[in-house]
Structure 1
Amino acid sequence: MSPLEKLFGKTAQMTVLEYLMKNKEEINYLSGIAQGTGLYHSSVARVLEPLLENNIVIEKKIGKQMRSFTLNEEHKAAQILMKFYDEVKKELGD
């Protein structure tokens, strides 16, 4: 059980956010996030929307149809979330 799941329960948005924090150095495609989290493609797309709207996640289009997603490490809220995640992970384990 992940540290965030221990505290807040399992939600699709929390699962996607945690996945992006763990894989922040990589290019993350919608299908890869779905596969990595065990969520449906449509669920990942739905929960990414508020993260995109609040600039926590950045979307980059590759070609006409490919979309990649990364955590916006320059955004203050994303920095706070990453710091919180790291601290909770240290305290509660992975």
Structure 2
Amino acid sequence: MDVLEKIFGKTAQMTVLKNLISHREDSTYLSGIAEETGLSHSSVARVIAPLVETGIVKEKPLGKQIRTFSLNMDSELTQLVLEFYDRIQEFAD
């Protein structure tokens, strides 16, 4: 368990956010996040919505049915989250 989980608990949203942070320069699909995290596709879709609404995550349509997701590196909020995440990892056991 990492420091972030010790403080905030292990939730699906935290798992998705950590996955996106670990791939911060990349875009991915819901199914890719689900596969990497072990969460169901529907769980990922449910918990990524608030991250998109707050502007931390960008959603980009790719065709009619496919959507890609990535951290919104232009967002000040995203930058604060990344700074916090990177700083708190310094306290990892």
Alpha-carbon offset, residue 90 of structure 1: 1.4
The runs of at least 4 aligned residues of structure 1 exceeding 3 Å deviation read none
What does residue 55 of structure 1 align with? 55
- Distance in 1, matches of 2:55 and 2:27, equals 17
Judge which range, 34-43 or 3-12, deviates more: 3-12
Q: Deviations over 1:45-71 (max 9, x none)?
A: 000111111111000111111110000
Which structure 2 residues correspond to residues 26-45 of structure 1 after superposition, within 5 A? 26-45=26-45
Aligned partner of residue 17 in structure 2, secondary structure: helix
Superposed CA RMSD in Å reads: 1.0
Alpha-carbon offset, residue 2 of structure 1: 2.6
The TM-score with structure 1 as length reference comes to: 0.93
Alpha-carbon offset, residue 92 of structure 1: 1.5
Q: Deviations over 1:29-48 (max 9, x none)?
A: 00000011111100000001
What does residue 11 of structure 2 align with? 11
What does residue 65 of structure 1 align with? 65
- Distance in 1, matches of 2:75 and 2:3, equals 22
Aligned partner of residue 61 in structure 1, secondary structure: strand
Structure 2, unaligned stretches of length 5 or more? none
Structure 1, unaligned stretches of length 5 or more? none
- Distance in 1, matches of 2:53 and 2:69, equals 13
Alpha-carbon offset, residue 3 of structure 1: 2.8
- Distance in 1, matches of 2:66 and 2:19, equals 19
Aligned partner of residue 67 in structure 2, secondary structure: strand
Alpha-carbon offset, residue 77 of structure 1: 0.9
